[in-house]
Chain A
Amino acid sequence: MALLGALKTLNGLKREGVIRDYAICGGYAASYYLEPAYTYDLDILVLLDSDTDYHALYEYFRQRGSRIENVYIVVEDVPVQFLPSYIGPLFSEAIKKARRITVKGTRTKVITVEHLIALFLVSFRPKDKIRILELLEQADKRLLDEMLRRFEDEKTPLRQRFKKVLANLQ
């Protein structure tokens, strides 16, 4: 299982202090809560303080001869996209509050269903809207509403986007 190898590498990064923490988001996180669905890459939220740390992360893999394709670093045959936490408070909170899980003896973290919905409202592609509707039954609606209120801004009107998604249900 290639993904397990990638997760072990990520745990190693944490131990070596290259990153402070990480959590699975995106398609794999959606599959954690829903039925498994095809995804090309592994999206990882990484807890980093600055873009200098982000560069250091890329440098770490480059020096070890890892393939770097477009926005992906290929880790143990898995294309991984690293999303740094400093780009927004929602990202860092998603890592800090992520669920601790164990996959075949390997420890890792998956962001909560409410954070996953909020992040899909940020990316807001057609496939994200469908996943939001599917994830909703598992979400704590009050917590989600409180979160969307806290993290929305003019550029990303999360609650307005959420209403648009719900309107598609009728």
Chain B
Amino acid sequence: MKKLLYARDSRRFWQIFNDEREMRRKKLASLPFARKIAIIERMQADTKLNAWGCEMRRR
């Protein structure tokens, strides 16, 4: 994140952005399946639809 703040041009910004995103993706992918299930279940709880199926409600 710190590196992003100091990126002066667009090319450099997106390079850092993509590298950091890829790093986070890899870190999440290496979690044990049970941890991943817990994360998915939290996402499911966060996106419960209302009775009309149109409004998103956050906890």
Contacts and interface: CB of A to CB of B under 8 A. Distances in A.
Given A33-B29, A35-B28, A1 B44 contact: no
A90 to B, nearest CB: 24
A156 B12 CA distance: 43
A104 interface: yes
A3 B47 CA distance: 17
B37 to A, nearest CB: 5
Contact of A38 (B29, B38, B40): B40
Nearest to A3: B37
B44 A36 contact: no
Chain B interface size band reads 10 to 19
Contacts, number: 44
A28 B38 CA distance: 12
A1 B33 contact: no
Interface residues of A, number: 18
A37 B39 CA distance: 8
B33 A103 contact: yes
Contact of A103 (B34, B43, B44): B34
Contacts of B37: 1, 3-4, 28, 31, 36, 103
Nearest to A7: B37
Interface string A96-133: 00000101100000000000000000000000000000
A26 to B, nearest CB: 12
Contacts of B34: 1, 103-104
Given A34-B29, A36-B43, A37-B40, 8 more contacts: A31-B33, A31-B36, A31-B40, A32-B36, A33-B29, A36-B36, A39-B40, A40-B44
The 6 tightest CB contacts between A and B, nearest first, are: A35-B28, A36-B36, A36-B39, A38-B43, A35-B29, A104-B34
Interface of A: 1-4, 28, 31-40, 101, 103-104
7 contacts: A1-B34, A1-B37, A2-B41, A3-B40, A4-B37, A32-B36, A35-B28
Interface of B: 25-26, 28-29, 31, 33-34, 36-41, 43-44, 47
